[in-house]
Chains A and B, each alone.
Chain A
Amino acid sequence: AQSVTQPDIHITVSEGASLELRCNYSYGATPYLFWYVQSPGQGLQLLLKYFSGDTLVQGIKGFEAEFKRSQSSFNLRKPSVHWSDAAEYFCAVGRGGADGLTFGKGTHLIIQP
């Protein structure tokens, strides 16, 4: 069965500092990997996705993520966070199409001034 682990429930980062959110997955086949962001009471916004090819993917809002097959990881990074980045971040795995997604428990990002 597939699973996604986000080991950090909360992360606090100073504005302007770099950020890395961790994600590890377990999946029986080559997965599609996603990072979503959710603001309070809102739906999900896709930050970036990995299907195949270059293992470093660029997303919106200055985010990037690196797929490491050997570590079953898909960590999200941003070189310099902004106060508006404070939100809940979810890593997800799936195959698209007729399959739903399996989500991690999320990481709550707090930005300190």
Chain B
Amino acid sequence: GAVVSQHPSRVICKSGTSVKIECRSLDFQATTMFWYRQFPKQSLMLMATSNEGSKATYEQGVEKDKFLINHASLTLSTLTVTSAHPEDSSFYICSATPPGQAEAFFGQGTRLTVV
């Protein structure tokens, strides 16, 4: 199957700082990638759809100024959590679907802890 790689797997940052998470499709090009958030012991919630070469589409209730998404190439999307606060601590997971397929492949996730 296709491979989606996410980096870093864990990050701890101080409150008020910004953190960038990378999502790469290693063996296919992805015009669209997805970012999810998962609180402890809860389900995955779609945050936004990352579109190569254009603005991301955010789900209702997600602050686009706090969660900046950039999809500058066909294999890389980044999520930047700006001015992070402890309530932003969560597990962030990205996914991408190879062209012509319906199955989504997920990165391994990033555990963000804001202290």
Residues of A in contact with B (beta carbons under 8 Å apart): 32, 34, 36, 41-44, 46, 49, 51, 90, 94-98, 100-106, 108
Contact = CB atoms under 8 A, between A and B. Distances in A.
Main secondary structure of the interface of A (DSSP, over half): loop
A94 B42 CA distance: 19
Interface stretch (B13-21, B75-83, B105-113): B105-113
B33 to A, nearest CB: 10
Nearest to B110: A43
Contact of B43 (A51, A95, A104): A104
Contacts, number: 60
Interface string B9-34: 00000000000000000000000101
B89 interface: no
A6 to B, nearest CB: 9
A22 to B, nearest CB: 15
Contact of A98 (B32, B36, B43, B46): B32
